[in-house]
Amino acid sequence: MSAQLRPQELPQARLVLLGTGTVGSAFVARYQALQRRQLNLPTLQVVANSRIALACDDAPDAALSRARDAQPGAGEPVHRLEVGRLGAGDIVVDATASEEVAAEHAPWLAQGIHVVTANKLGNGTAFARARAIADAAREGDARYGDAATVGAGLPLLRSIRALVAGGDHVHAIEGVLSGSLAWLFDRYDGSQPFSACVREAAVAGYTEPDPRIDLSGEDVRRKLLILARAAGVPLEADQVKVESLVPAALAALSAGEVDAALPQLDAALAERLQQAKAQGLKLCFVGRLDAQGASVGLRALPQGHALAGGSGTDNRVAIHSDRYSTQPLLIQGPGAGAEVTAAALLDDVLAVVSR
């Protein structure tokens, strides 16, 4: 019988970071901070984006800076080349929002490569892809770390999966799932137009560069799909009824025309706010799943409602189950921000290492 490697002799996992935007940059900063605290982290070998991949050596921040400044190239996608050099036990961190990268999650897992992701296009699109990811993780004995995909690392997915694993039955999940929309409707009180709040949120970095991505409700739909699947519900995207806040005329514009046309939002939102205030209610953008179906949209809630509290970018999620039938399990905390998202990614990396 061959001798087994002692823990200190085990080959160290290699780590590749895909994505050098705000989340990728925050990941590198936190990685270096944890290194200084001498945590047991795999070596960050490469940082890559759609343009270039660079070896980190002992200076991942320098590699990150160079990658961010790189010009577009041609040929085989960089992520495919870099991950092609990895093997079982290595780790890919997906800090992108790329469909092309998300399509590779299941094949990587099947090879035994762990995937840690903030990209919602893995478990938050077609159910067939989510099922393929789960099957591939089992086949490859690899971990799929997706805590950063919903709630910026709040213990939402972990809590739902633990309830299901313990035999509990989840009846409903409802929540304020978008940090940007939470901030907008916490801020919007009628003292200024809604479009002014949207511009303020964009400057603060709370929305996507094109705020229609947030206002359309599509991001919340994806998060609701991820939560539903964690609860064992095989929900498809077209089964979620979505109320977009974006008028058709605004949706049809090019990205460069959006800012000047944002006042198209104002009249409808002012009317909704006035109606809510007249009834003593608060506007919240909510995703909900229950036995009657799934929906995403703006709701006027009583001030004492479980989802009506919080402030700023807080996410608030209420989980109704057999165990929590009288009063829901409520999870609340910051639901947006590169730093908390990066922390969730590193938590999942550490969970892989300690497994």
pLDDT in tens, 25-38: 999 999 999 999 98
* pLDDT at residue 335, as a whole number: 81
pLDDT digits (tens, 9 = 90+) for 315-348: 999 999 999 999 999 999 988 788 999 999 999 9
pLDDT digits (tens, 9 = 90+) for 104-137: 999 999 999 999 999 999 999 999 999 999 999 9
pLDDT digits (tens, 9 = 90+) for 162-197: 999 999 999 999 999 999 999 999 999 999 999 999
Tell me how many degrees the CA angle 320-326-330 measures, rounded to the nearest 5.
50
Whether the Cβ atoms of residue 235 and residue 225 lie closer than 8 Å to each other: yes
The answer, yes or no, to whether residue 5 has pLDDT greater than 50, is no
* pLDDT at residue 74, as a whole number: 57
Query: Which is nearest to 81 in space by CA: 42, 43, 114, 54?
Result: 54
CA distance linking residue 29 with residue 218, whole number of Å: 30
**Which amino acids are annotated catalytic?**
223
The answer, yes or no, to whether residue 146 has pLDDT greater than 50, is yes
CA distance linking residue 186 with residue 282, whole number of Å: 9
Residue 84, Cβ density class (10 Å: 0-12 exposed, 13-18 middle, ≥19 buried): exposed
The answer, yes or no, to whether residue 353 has pLDDT greater than 50, is yes
DSSP per residue, 326-344? SS-EEEEEE---HHHHHHH
Gyration radius of the chain over CA positions: 21
* pLDDT at residue 73, as a whole number: 64
* Average pLDDT for 75-104: 86
What is the percent of the chain with per-residue pLDDT over 70, rounded to a whole number?
A: 95
Q: How many angstroms separate the Cα of 214 from the Cα of each of 207, 210, 270?
A: 7, 8, 19
CA distance linking residue 69 with residue 63, whole number of Å: 10
CA distance linking residue 175 with residue 173, whole number of Å: 7
Q: How many angstroms separate the Cα of 342 from the Cα of each of 21, 107, 160, 253?
A: 11, 24, 21, 33
